[in-house]
Amino acid sequence: MRQRFANGGRHLRGGMKACNTLTQMSTVQVTCDWGGEQMLTPRQKLILAAIVEDYVRYAEPVGSRTLSKHRGFQISPATIRNEMADLEELGYLDQPHTSAGRVPSQKGYRFYVDHLATSADIDPETVMSLRALFQEQMVEIERVIQQTSTVLSQLTQYTTVVLGPKIHQEKIKHIQLIPLSGGTAVAILVTDTGHVENRQVHLTEDISSDAVVRMVNLLNSKLKGTPLANLRSHLYREIANEMANTLEYFEDAIAVLDELTTVTDQNPGKVYVGGATNILVQPEFRDVEKVKPLLEWLEQADWNTAEHAFPLHGGKLQVRIGHENDVEPLQDCSVVSASYSVAGVPVGNIGVIGPTRMNYGRVMQILDYVANALSKVITERVTGGGG
Amino acid sequence: MRQRFANGGRHLRGGMKACNTLTQMSTVQVTCDWGGEQMLTPRQKLILAAIVEDYVRYAEPVGSRTLSKHRGFQISPATIRNEMADLEELGYLDQPHTSAGRVPSQKGYRFYVDHLATSADIDPETVMSLRALFQEQMVEIERVIQQTSTVLSQLTQYTTVVLGPKIHQEKIKHIQLIPLSGGTAVAILVTDTGHVENRQVHLTEDISSDAVVRMVNLLNSKLKGTPLANLRSHLYREIANEMANTLEYFEDAIAVLDELTTVTDQNPGKVYVGGATNILVQPEFRDVEKVKPLLEWLEQADWNTAEHAFPLHGGKLQVRIGHENDVEPLQDCSVVSASYSVAGVPVGNIGVIGPTRMNYGRVMQILDYVANALSKVITERVTGGGG
DNA sequence: GTTAGCACTCAACTATCTTGAGTGCTAATA
DNA sequence: TATTAGCACTCAAGATAGTTGAGTGCTAAC
């Protein structure tokens, strides 16, 4: 077996090759470094890229003759075969069986994503949809995100998971307590961004409405401006004592606060899943046994599981290919994810889940745009640029 | 072909045959009456029931010999074959191909559900789970329903869709307006059952907090006690004029009210889907092409589409078998549904979706229990017995 | 270093055969 | 007259073998 160019050099970090009409492509953040990665000749890169792109498109192993014809390469199939053999030897390609064409390995995809992915211009329709999405005036942040998830899954034809903005950093704007009948009451918490949370609590049966008003006033005066993340510490250290002296219904106030602190504990933010059924069209998921774990994971995904799958991070794009995913049901998939930020602080995450045979270039490009636009829109909304 | 007993008589309405430990079984409400239904001999009924139950269990066409052995019938396979031939002639059975056993037709299932379904005692575990579910003290109604949906899908191994309580009848308890920065504000509406809705609205940029307080006070004094369904009519007929005279920021008040009226229009209640992936284990949905429409429908199901599939109704249980369903993606399924009520008024619906080869007896029994229990729990909560 | 040529491989398709579960019909039986 | 044993028949599913064609690796020539 010939083994040209297997010289074990370190790879060069390169960004996306081309940029397109949408936005400047950010440098890809590599999540995983392959120790002992080899340099590839320009021709090998060309062939690897061609194989990845062909396979992404047609979902069939790519043969040497197809490749030489299809791409108008000026090399004969035999030469391509030689190169393919080398690439396989180096671990970038797999062969399902002797008489089949080649298929990119995970390592192959990784190399492609890190060094080869180009962004062919996205079709104008997609550009339009994206522009439209963010120009629309939507008042609620929740709705913006919901829509983002939907549009993104439609555009990519993959599945989208959006972690709605984390509310830890948001500050308490207002607390309200509305007594219902029979000793229950609704406790409502509004944050400075307009996020509303509510919990029901039990109160002393015959509490007077005056007492409730006093309680609410005290809570508001003490807690207004407190970031949700600090609620618990604030509460017991500073407020509890003082309340014990002032309030007749100290127990009730504590009950209310206890409920409100569950906001950040149990429910750091919402999770939006879009286009879960899109994976069903992918040939690699035609088999029910293959999709099931994935769909089950999606069905049960809450913030914590989802954030475990693609953590919030400062950088821009993350790509996890197959077994690079920690979460088992995602190990047959690739996940491209990006965080979006409010004033530079990452508060949420968008993940696109597809087969490893994914159109990385396109998804990365779209996602990059979406993450930027979303950050901008939400930051504007939150930092006061209101109407 | 012999054609005994094909005398075209009207069928007798009968309830479930046996009752079990859980609760008295209500009479099945028949959604669809088969014109010209024939009487069946007791033995034919026995055989039909046996075939349905065998097929439900093993998902394989049932043959005459299997049946005679399996059930300890005192009839020979040949006799069973004769009866089967008659039942097929009458339309209660289908035969996938000449040398296969028999399978219940839709008409067969319908007859089974109407006249034959027995409730073999449910396993103690299931009984325990159900008891536990409703004995648990859950404060929020939403959480009760969420849990119901989850538990129900786990117990039945089918998919559950719960239409959360309709909020049309609920009365306004409190309206609150919390200004944020930049001319936006959060409008919050609390109903007498503790349900909270919120919307963001734009206000006049420099509105004073006094004006906001006056506005909120007026809105509350005028609207407290109004059922949500009447909000719109109430608003324009009685309030608008008066407000025009009293309030400086009439436009803003109208904007707030406009947003609040969208609560009932766009969003009559929530929809909870449980165990969507359960259908994947059913052999009839092993094929991705078969599941896809169903999963897509479930993914997009909102109150309106879901209520179209199984409308709220006074009676207890409804069973729709295959093409008895109006909604296309459900026409390969059966849907057993029940409404739950607050003080006798149906406010929500629970649907269990499975293959036509469904364990009707078991599902009906469980669902009957759940619907009753849920009605009781919510009615108690809402009519004041809090605690 | 590149490529034409050739023998080789192997999944996928097709055709044919076998098996066995299940049927319908007929004639004997209770 | 209702039931049943017996038997020929049917047909999906599984096994076996042959064919096809896309694709390969190797070698020798350019």
DSSP A309-361: HS---SSSEEEEEGGG-SSGGGTTEEEEEEEEEETTEEEEEEEEEEESS--HH
**Taking 80 as the threshold, does the pLDDT of residue A59 lie above it?**
yes
Pick the residue of B143, B172, B277 with the most A CBs within 10 A to test the interface with A by mutation. Answer: B277
Report chain A residues touching chain B, CB-CB < 8 A. Answer: 139-140, 173-174, 176, 178, 180-184, 186, 188, 190, 192-194, 196, 198-202, 275-277, 280, 285-288, 291-292, 295-296, 299, 384-387
The answer to whether residues A251 and A179 belong to one domain is: yes
pLDDT band of A283, cuts 50, 70, 90? very high
Checking if the pLDDT of B121 tops 80, the result is no
Residue A14 pLDDT > 50, yes or no? no
Range of the domain at B213: 172-266
Residue A344's identity, in one-letter code, is G
What pLDDT shows up at residue A320?
Answer: 97
Residue bearing the bigger pLDDT, B92 or B206: B92
pLDDT (average), residues B299-322: 92
CA/C1' separation B60–D24 (Å): 44
Instruction: Output residues with Cβ under 7 Å from nucleic strand D.
Output: A 1, 60-66, 77-78, 81, 84-85, 88, 95, 98-102; B 4, 43, 74-79, 82, 96-100
**What is the pLDDT, as a whole number, of residue B94?**
96
B135 is a domain residue:
yes
Does residue A387 belong to any structural domain of this protein? no
> In this complex, do B194 and A183 lie within 8 Å of one another by their Cβ atoms?
no
Q: Is B168 exposed, middle or buried (0-12, 13-18, 19+ CB in 10 A)?
A: middle
* Domain boundary residue, one of A208, A237, A266: A266
By C1' distance from the Cα of B61, the closest nucleotide is C22
CA distance to partner chain B, nearest, from residue A376 (Å): 16
Domain ends where: A243, A266, A289? A266
Q: Which residue has the higher pLDDT, A3 or A296?
A: A296
The reply to whether residue A285 touches residue B288, judged by beta carbons under 8 angstroms, is yes
For the domain that residue B94 is a member of, what is the CATH number? 1.10.10.10
Answer for A59: CB within 7 Å of strand C.
no
Cβ-nearest to A292 among B194, B200, B277: B277
| Cβ pair B363, B158 in contact under 8 A | yes
- Specify the higher pLDDT residue, B128 or A136: B128
Is residue B101 assigned to a domain?
Answer: yes
* Predicted local confidence at residue B199, as pLDDT: 92
- Residue A359 falls inside a structural domain: yes
Residue with structure tokens 């209310």?
A: A256
Domain annotation covers residue B204: yes
Chain A residue numbers with beta carbons less than 8 Å from the beta carbon of B191 are none
The rounded mean pLDDT for chain B is 84
Residue A114 has pLDDT above 50, yes or no: yes
- Taking the CA of residue B8 and the C1' sugar atom of nucleotide C25, their distance in angstroms comes to 27
- pLDDT class for B14, splitting at 50, 70, 90? very low
Q: Which of A182, A277, A384 minimises the CB distance to B299?
A: A277
Q: What is the pLDDT of residue A33?
A: 39
Smallest CA–CA separation between A192 and chain B, in Å? 6
Please check whether residue A204 lies inside any domain of the structure.
Answer: yes
Q: How many CA atoms lie less than 13 Å away from A199 in the CB half-sphere?
A: 17
pLDDT at B260: 86
CB contact under 8 A, A200 and B193: no
| A116 DSSP assignment | I
Q: How far apart are CA B336 and CA B351, in angstroms?
A: 6
3-state secondary structure of A92: coil
B192 & B259 share domain: yes
Average pLDDT, chain A: 85
Say how many residues make up chain A: 387
pLDDT band at residue A341 under the 50/70/90 scheme? very high
Interface touch A139/B182, C-beta < 8 Å = no
Q: Is residue A95 part of a domain?
A: yes
**Percent above pLDDT 70 for chain B:** 89
Q: Does A174 sit within 8 Å of B194, measured CB to CB? A: no
Q: Do residues B284 and B367 both lie within one domain?
A: yes
Q: For position B255, what pLDDT does the model report?
A: 85
Residue B33 sits in the same domain as residue B99? yes
Asked, for residue B387, whether it belongs to a domain, the answer is: no
**Of residues A178, A192, A280, nearest to B190 (C-beta):** A178
Which amino acid, residue A321? I
Q: For A99-111, how does the pLDDT look when each residue is reduced to its tens digit (9 = 90+)?
A: 999 999 999 999 9
β-pair partners for B200? B186
pLDDT at A5 > cutoff 80: no
Please tell me whether residues B191 and B301 are part of one structural domain: no
Taking 90 as the threshold, does the pLDDT of residue B360 lie above it? yes
pLDDT of residue A35: 44
Q: Which of the residue ranges A237-241, B34-38, B228-232, B325-329 would you say has the lowest mean pLDDT?
A: B34-38
Give nearest nucleotide to B64 (CA–C1'): C22
Of A71, A66, A114, A112, give the one whose Cα is nearest residue A93: A112
Q: CB–CB of A366/A148 below 8 Å? A: no
CA→C1' distance for A100 and D16 (Å): 24
> Average pLDDT, stretch B288-302?
95
Whether A170 contacts A192, CB under 8 Å = yes
- Say which of B178, B288, B387 has its CB closest to residue A182: B387
- Rounded alpha-carbon distances, angstroms, from residue B40 to B32, B33, B49, B65, B66: 19, 16, 12, 22, 22
Picking from A8-12, A21-25, A50-54, B320-324, which range would have the lowest pLDDT averaged per residue? A8-12
Ranges A29-33, A124-128, A155-159, A220-224, most confident: A155-159
The pLDDT value given to residue B384: 61
CA distance B46 to B24: 24
Question: What is the arithmetic mean of pLDDT over A369-377?
Answer: 94
Domain CATH number, residue B220: 3.30.390.10
Q: What is the pLDDT of residues B244-270, one digit of tens each?
A: 777 677 888 888 888 888 877 777 789
Chain B residues whose C-beta is within 8 A of a chain A C-beta are: 139-140, 173-174, 176, 178, 180-184, 186, 188, 190, 192-194, 196, 198-202, 205, 276-277, 280-281, 285-288, 291-292, 295-296, 299, 384-387
Contact A386 B280 (CB under 8 A): no
Res A107: pLDDT: 96
Nucleic strand C within 7 A of Cβ A7: no
Is B67 in the same domain as B111?
yes
Q: Which contiguous run of DSSP H or E holds residue B379?
A: helix B360-382
Distance from the Cα of B33 to chain A's closest Cα (Å) equals: 36
- Position A37 scores a pLDDT of 52
Do residues A239 and A324 both lie within one domain?
A: no
Is the pLDDT at A10 greater than 70, yes or no?
no
CB within 7 A of strand C (chain B, 52-81)? 60-66, 77-78, 81
Determine whether the interchain pair A387/B178 forms a contact, defined as Cβ–Cβ distance below 8 Å. Answer: no
Q: For B316 and D3, how far is CA from C1' in angstroms?
A: 43
Answer yes or no: do A159 and A141 share one domain. yes
B80 and B133 co-located in one domain: no
Number of domains present in the structure of chain A: 3
Quote the DSSP letter at residue B307: H
Tell me: do B274 and B295 sit in the same domain.
yes
B67 vs B266, which has greater pLDDT? B67
Task: HSE, CB side, 13 Å, CA atoms: give it for residue A12.
Answer: 8
CB of A127 within 7 Å of some strand C atom: no
Q: In this structure, what CATH number is given to the domain that contains residue A318?
A: 3.30.450.40
Q: Which residues of B touch A200 (CB under 8 A)?
A: 139-140, 194
CA A278 → CA B16, B288, B292, B293, distances in Å?
42, 11, 9, 11
Same domain for B12 and B109, yes or no, is yes
* Residue B283 and residue B327 share a domain: yes
What one-character DSSP code corresponds to residue A164?
A: P
pLDDT at B234: 76
